Structure 1
Amino acid sequence: MDLGIDAIDTSFNYHGFASHRALAAVAGDLLPRLTISTKVGFFPGSRGAEHSLEPARLRAALERTGRDLGRAPDLVFLHNPERSLARLPVAEARDRLARACGVLAEAASGGWCGGWGIASWHPAALLGPAGNVPRPGVLMVPCGLLVPVRTLDAADALAERWELPVAAVRGMSPFGGNATASVWRSADPRLFLPDRATGLSAVQAAFRVAWHLPRVGSVAVGSDDPAHLRELVDALGAEVVQETVRRYRALLRERARPGQRGA
């Protein structure tokens, strides 16, 4: 909060399905000052976490979320719905997704949460089933230089279909899950910034560019390292050369064509 960050994104299944209780215990009287978004879709199973879009399980998770937090979350995402839609006929997948989204829409209208959205690692898998679902208020997708062009294009297509402004599209995993990976030492994302913005590190540049691949209004990052958070916050004012972003996406698309190496 000292860095100006007043939003926390979590999930029903994080921290061994105890993330909401842990957050409430740690945040204490600061909790009302935070905007809380969470996700439902994964549940305890006999072999670990299992995914489900069953309306009854989603409702139970929403009820427990409010109870564990001690307040209604500001936003609830349907968590990776594609996990339960894979290999289903499009019509059946569409019906299952619509019913699951209906549960979240009802929860929002009933005051169980402030709003609802969809968080997806593979938005391309939702393009077919998303035809008749209630309109989500927010879309969360992977962002950054390591995201395949198919995912970037699908995120843009879903945002356009649901008429979501940039502010309603959120990015996640801007470093592909690891900000210390060797790729950020061998590549130079400062190529996307005017005059390479030599005052920024490669990690800072990669984070700034992630807001444009695809275009998002906010980005979720890990919060366990305050120094890392400060580094990222300090990069927010950097400009990004849009023509370089456009050329990069064109190169990704060309590389992903049949007969070319995948992107």
Structure 2
Amino acid sequence: MTATLALGTYRCRGVAESAKAAVKAGVDWIDTAPNYQHGQAERQLAPVLVAHPGVRVSTKAGFFSKDRASEAVTAGVLTPAQAEQGHCLEPAFVMWQTVRSREELRRAADIVFLHNPEHGCHTPAELERSLLPAFEALEESCARGFARGYGVATWSALHTGLMTVGRLMALARLAGGPHHHLRTIQLPLSLVQLSPLAEAVRGRGVLPEAEDAGLEVFASAPLHGGELMSIVTPSVAEQLVPGMTPLRVALGTVASSPGVTRILLSASTPEHWADAAAAVSRPVTAPQIRRIVDAFSS
């Protein structure tokens, strides 16, 4: 079994057009954020989501656009000084942001991710002091129907150990009790940022811990912004696993890694989605993953 494909809108030039192409290709999840596309991504997605109510959507709280900052200052949930920082996880702002996203998307998000909560935090204790009240705000948001669940989207904290799955689960239980709404983690996974993959093939680390905890894992940047395809050439792919295409080496390795449930791609054309679907259609075996990961670790 391999992870399913989802649309990540961070690098999309045209969010609505990319979403339409993704849905046409059978994609059933779209990930976005209030600060994407200069603050317009959620609004651009809304008509597609209205037309396709079965498609699920995740958004984020943390970073914000200048327009959203001005609104938040007017609403009294950000101070002018906080607005200048471009990122905030204060409970009042997280709650307000979740409500604003629901308005922009024209529906409650299936998941609201705390967006790079390690931003400005330097120790695990400092990060946890920021996360707990934010989790409490998200639990209240879920209870009031502003969101259906929440997660954490991090660029580095889960790679470096600044944050662990065990501590996230403990904080969620403190915030929401045994029936908390923490559902998902999102982190970059690729043959460039591969430490969680290398650990997972040996049965340890973030990915199996998330699987054991019942958390979905969204893999962001699986092609490292497209740069990876200039590294995994046909000759490199053939040397690693004879008969395997470069895209299957790069994308299939992530999709078949233990614990990974969704792969976020910024594909924008039917051809891109068809190529990606072919790359993840058959599992990459554990020995093949180990060989590929070992090669890129050296």
Q: Normalising by structure 1, what TM-score?
A: 0.79
CA distance in 2: counterparts of 1:82 and 1:238, whole angstroms: 35
1:60-139 matches, within 5 Å, as 60-85=96-121, 87-88=122-123, 90-122=124-156, 123=158, 124=160, 125-127=162-164, 130=168, 132-134=170-172, 136-139=182-185
What does the per-residue CA deviation read over 1:212-262, in whole Å, with 9 as the maximum and x for residues that have no partner? 456401101003232111110122222312123234555666x5xxxxxxx
**Equivalent residue in structure 2 for 1:142, among 183, 188, 196:** 188
Query: What residue number does 1:203 align with?
Result: 247
**Greater helix share, structure number:** 2
What does the per-residue CA deviation read over 1:89-127, in whole Å, with 9 as the maximum and x for residues that have no partner? x43321211111222222122211111111111113213
Aligned with 1:177: secondary structure? Answer: helix
Relative distance call for 1:2 and 1:134 in structure 2 (3 A) is same
Q: Is the 8 A contact 2:219 2:264 kept in 1?
A: yes
Query: What residue number does 2:87 align with?
Result: 51
Q: Is the 8 A contact 1:143 1:211 kept in 2?
A: no
| Partner amino acid, structure 2, of 1:43 | F
CA distance in 2: counterparts of 1:22 and 1:188, whole angstroms: 39
CA distance in 1: counterparts of 2:185 and 2:92, whole angstroms: 23
Is 1:17 equivalent to 2:39 in the alignment? yes
Query: What residue number does 1:2 align with?
Result: 24
| Partner amino acid, structure 1, of 2:127 | A
| More deviation, 235-244/153-162 | 153-162
Query: What residue number does 2:230 align with?
Result: 182
Aligned with 1:126: secondary structure? Answer: coil
Aligned with 2:114: secondary structure? Answer: strand
Q: Cα offset for 1:14?
A: 0.6
| Partner amino acid, structure 2, of 1:126 | M
Q: Is the 8 A contact 1:41 1:53 kept in 2?
A: yes
Q: Is the 8 A contact 2:112 2:150 kept in 1?
A: yes
Q: Is the 8 A contact 2:256 2:285 kept in 1?
A: no
Is 1:173 equivalent to 2:221 in the alignment? yes
The percent of aligned pairs where both chains have the same amino acid is: 26
Q: Cα offset for 1:48?
A: 7.6
Q: Is the 8 A contact 1:192 1:241 kept in 2?
A: no
Query: What residue number does 1:34 align with?
Result: 55
Q: Is the 8 A contact 1:211 1:217 kept in 2?
A: yes
Aligned residues: 246
Q: Is the 8 A contact 1:93 1:129 kept in 2?
A: no
Q: Is the 8 A contact 2:256 2:283 kept in 1?
A: no
Relative distance call for 1:162 and 1:218 in structure 2 (3 A) is closer
Name structure 1 gaps, 5 residues minimum: 256-263
Q: Normalising by structure 2, what TM-score?
A: 0.71
Q: Cα offset for 1:187?
A: 6.0
Relative distance call for 1:152 and 1:247 in structure 2 (3 A) is closer
